[in-house]
Amino acid sequence: MKRVVLVGGTHGNEWGGIYLCQKWQNTPEIWAKYPFQVETYLANPRAIEVNRRYLEEDLNRCFRSSDLANHDLSSYEAQRAKVVAQDLSGCDFLIDLHNTTSNMGMSLILSREEALDDPLMLQLCAHLLQQDALVRIYYMPQNAKDSPYLPSLGQRELTLEVGPMAHGTLRADLFFKTEQLVQTMLTFLADWERGEAKAYEGELTIYRQLENLDYPRTPAGHMRGMIHPQLYGRDYRPLYPGRPLYVTFEGLVLNYEGDETVWPVFINEQAYYEKGLAMSLTRKEQIPL
Amino acid sequence: MKRVVLVGGTHGNEWGGIYLCQKWQNTPEIWAKYPFQVETYLANPRAIEVNRRYLEEDLNRCFRSSDLANHDLSSYEAQRAKVVAQDLSGCDFLIDLHNTTSNMGMSLILSREEALDDPLMLQLCAHLLQQDALVRIYYMPQNAKDSPYLPSLGQRELTLEVGPMAHGTLRADLFFKTEQLVQTMLTFLADWERGEAKAYEGELTIYRQLENLDYPRTPAGHMRGMIHPQLYGRDYRPLYPGRPLYVTFEGLVLNYEGDETVWPVFINEQAYYEKGLAMSLTRKEQIPL
């Protein structure tokens, strides 16, 4: 492992990663102790400048191999993705720092499908789960070539999704927890490189992506309801069949109609309203280490 | 009292008031029982369309009499303010529905300096304080002519500031609480008109605006810290001299250096970062009814 990249500002209004990268850029000497190069990288500087998620389209959906190869795509982010790909492709480990308005604590999102077959990734996750009670492993497998996500540029990668925090704001507790968790990751990677990493046994709890749910809508496509108060803020808590999911503006309760218990995440994330995504449903699983 | 106006969308990404106004527009018959005309009004439709606070400048700072008279001001919101003023000036009661990322519950903001000498306003506040444990009275007096705020167009007015809620999202619990509180206001105003309003005696607790505090900054003006975790979310709770106010990105705690106990509000409001406002300090006072 030669090159580890910490990315902030893939979304220009997610300040946790942005301010952490800016802090780290002022103190590059703190990385000297690691047996690999550590870099910070602000992925969408123009979006950061205007404090918006993106200028024209979501940068974190611009990294499919076919899109990177397609020079006809003309949006600002489509251009920017090609520059970011030149800068970061093939780095050994890429950590993309995100924030969410959802109550997702310190979520490690694994989007590479082979992550659960990779001893390093499994051991890293097991280690991080020991470090902070808010850590959760969210597995949403994607074929790397088809993955639209920026971290797919790395040989290994994860997205650290931290919340709840309103976009365009900072929360000191989550800022320092994120900093701590990234340092713990780097220390673990360094120990792994040196063959000194602690080996965990037993099982790992993960939350596997099942499907995305939209808000209730009118035939014309307008929102007709909200997350039910009994579900609001309960990311990674079990949702049982028949329990309240939404409440319409008129006060009608809409229940979860599925057959199996699920564990919702990204409940009420601000940026996902425009994507028609009220929450993602996951299944809680135990993976052998 | 002939005309009461409920305003939403003065800020285009504060969805509570916007979705409530849209709900009410579908059921105008619910207002028939009141002895005055009730109207809903979306103040900045273009900002609502693009889901942003404003297009060019904060509409809710465009209503000084001198600015309304100045036809050289060219921003979209400066134009829009003149249209809104034509539509709403002189209405008998104007209720402007806002949301905040701060933990301000159901705050009634009184910005007209004479509000505390107005028996109707005092009795209305006393009544609403009985209705919901989250109600607080925040008094930030302005001379009506110099007031930059939209509600200053009304003969009487208040801003209902509801939070915590990320902009561009909805929270069902706060949505229904807001709806309930507005209905309670209208019922009280109707009772007052008919001479049937309950008369409260005793004292009213208000929070009077003292000053605004900015975030700690570097000499170049960049943010160098955040709200301290011990203060985060503690709007309307006492802040004692010497207690933590901020923590810098390096972890240095900055304490509140004032001489008197204060009650902060608008702590960490997202939209106020750009205004250089980390919180407003208030003094808790008892006003005789």
pLDDT tens string, chain A, 289 residues long: the values are 999 999 999 999 999 999 999 999 999 999 999 999 999 999 999 999 999 999 999 999 999 999 999 999 999 999 999 999 999 999 999 999 999 999 999 999 999 999 999 999 999 999 999 999 999 999 999 887 899 999 999 999 999 999 999 999 999 999 999 999 999 999 999 999 999 999 999 999 999 999 999 999 999 999 999 999 999 999 999 999 999 999 999 999 999 999 999 999 999 999 999 999 999 999 999 999 9
ipTM of the predicted structure?
0.95
Which 8-state DSSP code applies to residue B224? -
A113: helix, strand or coil: helix
Of B166, B168, B247, nearest to A172 by CB-CB distance is: B247
What does the DSSP assignment read for A147-210? Answer: --SGGGGSSEEEEEEEES--TT---HHHHHHHHHHHHHHHHHHHHHHTT-PPPP-SEEEEEEEE
Paired strand residues for A244: A255
Residues of chain B contacting A51 with CB distance shorter than 8 Å:
274
Residues of chain B contacting A171 with CB distance shorter than 8 Å:
226-227, 229, 232, 268
Contact A169 B101 (CB under 8 A): yes
* Closest approach of A172 to chain B, Cα-based (Å): 6
Which 8-state DSSP code applies to residue B215? P
Answer for the pair A35, A190: CB distance below 8 angstroms, yes or no. yes
Residues of chain A contacting B51 with CB distance shorter than 8 Å:
274
Contact B51 A274 (CB under 8 A): yes
A137: helix, strand or coil: strand
Q: Mind listing the domains of chain B with CATH numbers?
A: 3-200 (3.40.630.10), 207-288 (2.20.25.160)
Short-list A107, A175, A116, A120, CA closest to A4: A120
* Closest approach of A3 to chain B, Cα-based (Å): 26
Short-list A181, A194, A192, CA closest to A6: A181
H or E, element range at A4: strand A3-8
Which pTM was predicted? Answer: 0.96
